[in-house]
Amino acid sequence: MVKPVGEITRGTTNPNRLRRVDNFIAFRCGARLRDAPQPLVVDLGYGATPVTAVELRGRLAAAVRPDVAVVGLEIDPVRVVAAQPYADPPLLDFRRGGFELAGLRPVVVRAFNVLRQYPEEDVGAAWRQMTATGAVLIEGTCDELGRIATWAVIEDGAPSTLTLSARLSDLDHPATFAERLPKALIHHNVPGEPVHELLHALGRAWETEATPFGPRQRWIATVRRMREEGWPVQDGPARWRLGELTLPWPDNRSGRSSAADRPDPRG
């Protein structure tokens, strides 16, 4: 047996907490899963109860393909034993494992609210280990009820995009995202850093686009303004209306343009 790598998480979880990221996985990784000979997804660190792993399997089966298999991994053997009544092999299973992925070769790995408890200097090594076999890693964090979430897409150990996602009826201001940034960014939300510039611009756009037509229309207008101002916003209104905003990873090393490099929308 492969020795699990990592530490036991707090285990906090709630039904429907990861709905936003699950829907994003179906959107972002659906084609990869449909094309895979063995469409395996690992849910790393599912927590004290397996509810979010069960939900992930159900959502991907409905949205992508019915034979998607999900394996939930936990370092804590007590949690693995407690999850067994929910198992339905080979489509849904629970095993002991950590960043080494228990020797599995998944297509996609979801690791949510896991790296938040680690030192920032450990994040890169964890990313590299979880993507060493070619998996796409979706790594991020959210609040207790899943109303505010952020996540990164990681391939070959490096982040490519950052997504901010919110239940818009509860979003008072985009500054709220700062509390739930991925571990690799949360300590960089200070003046002079790209993620600070991003959140500041998003907040300014939100304040500018106040509207009586509700939070969804306000968010769509906010994201559209960000694009008009030169931010490399991805996707389109179909994703924006879900409360999503996806951009290249806000790190100058990954090709994120600085404010001076972005085109001036005023011409």
The region of weakest confidence among 45-49, 67-71, 136-140, 259-263 is 259-263
Of the candidates 210, 114, 140, the one whose C-alpha atom is nearest the C-alpha of residue 171 is: 210
Q: Quick one: average pLDDT of 239-267?
A: 63
User: Which pLDDT belongs to residue 18?
Assistant: 97
Query: How far, in Å, CA of 42 to CA of 27, rounded?
Result: 17
Q: Write out pLDDT tens, residues 86-111.
A: 999 999 999 999 999 999 999 999 99
pLDDT at 263 over 90: no
Lateral strand order in the sheet of 40-44: 92-96, 69-74, 40-44, 108-112, 136-142, 148-155, 158-166, 244-248
Q: Write out pLDDT tens, residues 29-41.
A: 999 999 999 999 9
Mean pLDDT computed over every residue of the chain: 92
User: Which pLDDT belongs to residue 14?
Assistant: 85
Q: Phi-psi bin for 101: left (phi > 0), alpha (psi -120 to 50), beta?
A: left
pLDDT at 261 over 80: no
User: Which pLDDT belongs to residue 77?
Assistant: 95
Query: How far, in Å, CA of 69 to CA of 16, rounded?
Result: 19
Q: Quick one: average pLDDT of 217-240?
A: 97
Taking residue 210's Cβ as centre, other Cβ atoms within 10 Å add up to 9
| Extents of the domains making up the chain | 19-250
Which pair of structure tokens corresponds to residue 70? 């999900």
Q: Write out pLDDT tens, residues 168-190.
A: 999 999 999 999 999 999 999 99
Tell me which CATH code domain 19-250 carries: 3.40.50
Percentage of residues of the chain with pLDDT beyond 70: 94
Q: Write out pLDDT tens, residues 59-89.
A: 999 999 999 999 999 999 999 999 999 999 9
